């Protein structure tokens, strides 16, 4: 990055971290963008220049998640299936979840509680994941089978997110990464076998 880009990235991170602190103290719904701007010593317009919506202050790092997901599928090795590449991606620990630091884990717990208590954040997250699913389907071919495959794989991801949040709220910490890998393995194995016999009575 050049100097200008570095300064912009620093400003973005300052605003996001300021917002995270305020959200953690009072909850997402109770904090206004104007309050975040004052605390970060920037204008309200500057906040919106970096984060088009208030929800983006929480989810802005998900942009890199989508880029990593799509590149993993796009650049998979010769002979590697889409599901194998996706499984490798979804099983990899990332972000605060992969940190061994107890303080970081507690920070993750605070972020998790904030999200599950906010209907607007949960709704925005569903919009984001729907967009990722559409982009994945387009990468795979944009026909009906590509849409089914993309929805199935992103369904695994959403289910893992829900499971992770529930366990964090219940108090799971150090052991959680192993639990998530086991759940991912079970879900990916189900997709690998296909759903032809699923739910037969």
**What is 61-193's CATH topology?**
Tetracycline Repressor; domain 2 (1.10.357)
Residue 179 CA neighbour count, 13 Å, CB half = 15
* Chain segment 4-50, per-residue pLDDT in tens: 889 999 999 999 999 999 998 899 999 999 999 999 999 999 999 99
CA separation for the pair 108, 99 (Å, rounded): 10
For the entire predicted model, the pTM comes to 0.85
pLDDT digits (tens, 9 = 90+) for 96-105: 776 777 788 7
Work out the pLDDT band at 94, boundaries 50, 70, 90.
confident
Same fold for the domain at 3-56 and the one at 61-193?
Answer: no
CB-CB contact of 63 with 52 (8 Å)? no
pLDDT tens readout for residues 107-157: 888 889 999 999 999 999 999 999 999 999 999 997 999 999 999 999 999
H helices within the chain, ranges in order?
A: 3-26, 33-40, 44-50, 56-59, 62-74, 82-91, 102-116, 119-140, 144-170, 176-193
28: which residues sit within 8 A by CB, 6+ positions away?
Answer: 54, 58, 114, 115, 117, 118, 120, 121
- Total residue length of the chain: 201
Spans of all domains in the chain:
3-56, 61-193
CATH architecture label of 3-56: Orthogonal Bundle (1.10)
């Amino acid at each position: 990055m050049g100097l200008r880009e570095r300064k912009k990235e620093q400003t973005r991170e300052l605003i996001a971290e300021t917002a995270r602190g305020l959200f953690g103290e009072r909850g997402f719904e109770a904090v206004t963008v104007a309050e975040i701007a004052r605390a970060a010593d920037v204008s309200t317009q500057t906040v919106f220049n970096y984060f088009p919506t208030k929800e983006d202050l929480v989810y802005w790092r998900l942009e890199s998640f989508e880029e990593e997901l799509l590149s993993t599928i796009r650049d998979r090795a010769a002979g590697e299936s889409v599901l194998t590449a996706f499984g490798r991606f979804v099983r990899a620990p990332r972000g605060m979840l992969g940190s061994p630091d107890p303080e970081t884990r507690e920070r993750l717990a605070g972020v998790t509680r904030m999200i599950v208590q906010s209907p607007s954040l949960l709704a925005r997250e569903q919009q984001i994941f729907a967009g990722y699913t559409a982009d994945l389907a387009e990468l795979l071919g944009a026909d009906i089978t590509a849409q089914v495959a993309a929805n199935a794989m992103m369904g695994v991801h959403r289910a893992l997110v829900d499971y992770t949040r529930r366990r964090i709220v219940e108090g799971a910490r150090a052991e959680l990464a192993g639990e998530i890998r086991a759940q991912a393995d079970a879900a990916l194995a189900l997709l690998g076998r296909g759903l032809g016999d699923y739910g037969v009575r």
